A and B are shown apart, each in its own frame.
Chain A
């Protein structure tokens, strides 16, 4: 289990992170979402020890992280990078060794991942001679080649074609199934919603929500779509805990407060005629995110 506890980081007067906390359990895929500059990369860099925090802690399985423990973490930085003139196999073997694997184990693991990611024929090529897509695969292999105990991936899906997205998703699910806690950031919120067990939304350096998408949407507003043919216009205005979003012909779209009772709305609708459609729609992660972010900018 990876625990991030009240991380704080300042650059002069700018607060990059303010008491950010979250937990990623073993075998859990944790999606880290937020606007550009919200603090995702800063938090990830601190987790990897690339950057020093001003306050707060990161713990793994209940213990402070020593350099030896951290050496077993796998990391894919937002700024991708490998030695351009080093051969693919040599590069992966070298990185696995730096992460503490023996020479033999490193070589075996490098060969394994090259085969797994369809790069076997390219293993004696320099990285700079590979296509961009293949370079991305080597980058993924670089994060996995030492059998990491934790995976921290900064925007692993950015710049991937749809086939590579599927491959990446598959590998992440596989690693999670093997018990590895995984944190990754992404702007592709539909993907995060589909893939992640839990998500955390960060805004201006503060964690504003963590939980499963269901938990988050249950705690947020939802939408009601009510179709009452023949009802007078404006029938739904002023109902408790609701706000009319749109009225078109017989269709009314309402926003429902988290604790409001939708049955009261149904009863009110039935007073104006036969209700032909009544549906409640929970916000998707993308809608939730937009909601949280606009709430923040309004505040």
Chain B
């Protein structure tokens, strides 16, 4: 190609290049935003996240409280039962009931359990099975009752004092690493972020690939390349589609955050906001990393039907990395495998934000991962745009990757 005149206005060249890239990006942006698929896809994912949150809510609500009706002698244990259950992390609401109505109340679902009988021999009526923690709380009362009676029989003056002393005895626990409910929440937030990133990068990467082949198969690319350079077309396409993907990620992430915080499911809002912010950065890195690979792969073929064959290797890397890394991370985010995998440039954009959310990560790891990914972006952008430039006007049969690269040197 003719080189611009030496001494000719570099400034003008830069301005016209920027203008071309912006025009291409804007066309991509408009085309996608006007497309119903964007709206429907976004709504569907938000709905799915909403569903997940609702499920969490019911599980939380169901797991946390239990209604117990007490009948006969058991009516006296109400305070003790509530206290015991509280220690086990269960909120118990007690009511009294007439023994005859027990069965009806349980069957109607008004109460979770009806407790009858003397404290030394409770009889519990439930629909299907007894909540484990409720059972423990009741057993404790029975055991206490039995032991107090036994102590009195053995001639102990003040059985209650002995019991009090016994209950104060405790084990001294030193945790080397433990999971708290907050850790679990962090892990879930991290996993959701990893999934969103995986989804965004694969979806919008595929859009880039489809766009490249559409321009090739419709032959419009030759008209475009008679007025703008290949890199401008490529960059405009990647930037435009990347922006659409970014806005979708932020909309979905933001909506999920608001929903989860408003419903009280999410207790680590600060962590989640931080994760979303990191997610945006990693989306940008990851998208630029993969978009040029997708574009280069797509430029090798001339028809949409042939697209799958060249995209499969790229997809395998992404899916394989996602599945393997995801499992390792959920199992133990601090394990060596998780650390190593999350530093690999092609996997880092999906796995690292998850690890950041989980919290168990050193600053040097984040820095190293960003540095390595940036290097990979630079290398792959160079390689990808070379392949794209050489293959984009080659019509007909699929061009070999090596051929597309070799042409670059001549």
Contact = CB atoms under 8 A, between A and B. Distances in A.
Interface of A: 45, 48-52, 57-58, 63-68, 70-71, 73, 75, 77, 79-84, 86, 94-95, 97-100, 142
B228 interface: yes
Given A50-B225, A58-B2, A63-B5, A97 B23 contact: yes
Nearest to B224: A98
Contact of A82 (B20, B27, B220, B226): B220
Interface of B: 1-2, 4-5, 8, 12-13, 16, 19-20, 23-24, 27, 31, 214-215, 218-229, 393, 395
A162 B19 CA distance: 40
Contacts of B4: 66-67
A77 B16 contact: no
Among B1, B5, B23, B219, max chain A CB count under 10 A is at B1
B16 A142 contact: no
A52 B13 CA distance: 19
B223 A77 contact: yes
A83 B218 contact: yes
Contacts of B31: 86
B393 A49 contact: no
Instruction: Kindly name the residue among B2, B8, B218, B228 whose own CB sees the greatest number of chain A CB atoms within 10 A.
Output: B2
Given A50-B225, A66-B4, 6 more contacts: A50-B226, A70-B227, A75-B226, A77-B222, A77-B226, A82-B223
Given A49-B2, A58-B2, A94-B27, A67 B218 contact: no
Nearest to B395: A79
B23 A51 contact: no
Given A83-B214, A97-B23, A67 B221 contact: no
Nearest to B19: A100
Q: In the A-B complex, list the 7 residue pairs whose CB atoms are closest, starting with the nearest.
A: A81-B219, A81-B220, A48-B226, A77-B222, A79-B219, A75-B226, A52-B1
A142 B225 CA distance: 14
A81 B13 contact: no
B16 A67 contact: yes
Contacts of A100: 16, 19, 227
Contacts of B221: 81
A84 B215 CA distance: 9
A233 to B, nearest CB: 57
B223 A142 contact: yes
A231 to B, nearest CB: 60
23 contacts: A48-B226, A49-B1, A49-B2, A49-B225, A50-B222, A51-B393, A66-B5, A68-B12, A68-B13, A70-B226, A73-B227, A77-B222, A79-B219, A79-B395, A81-B222, A82-B218, A83-B214, A83-B220, A84-B218, A94-B27, A95-B227, A97-B23, A98-B224
A99 B219 contact: no
A73 B226 contact: yes
B5 A64 contact: yes
Contacts of B27: 94
A82 B225 CA distance: 13
A228 B173 CA distance: 130
B8 A98 contact: no
B16 A71 contact: yes
Contacts of A65: 2
Contacts of A95: 223, 227
Contacts of A51: 393
Nearest to A99: B227
Contacts of B220: 81-83
Contacts of A75: 222-223, 226
Contacts of B24: 98
Instruction: Report which residue of B4, B12, B27, B227 has the largest number of chain A beta carbons within 10 angstroms of its beta carbon.
Output: B227
B219 A77 contact: yes
B226 A81 contact: no
A122 B212 CA distance: 27
B397 to A, nearest CB: 15
Nearest to A76: B223
A64 B1 CA distance: 11
Interface centre among A52, A68, A100 (most CB of B within 10 A): A68
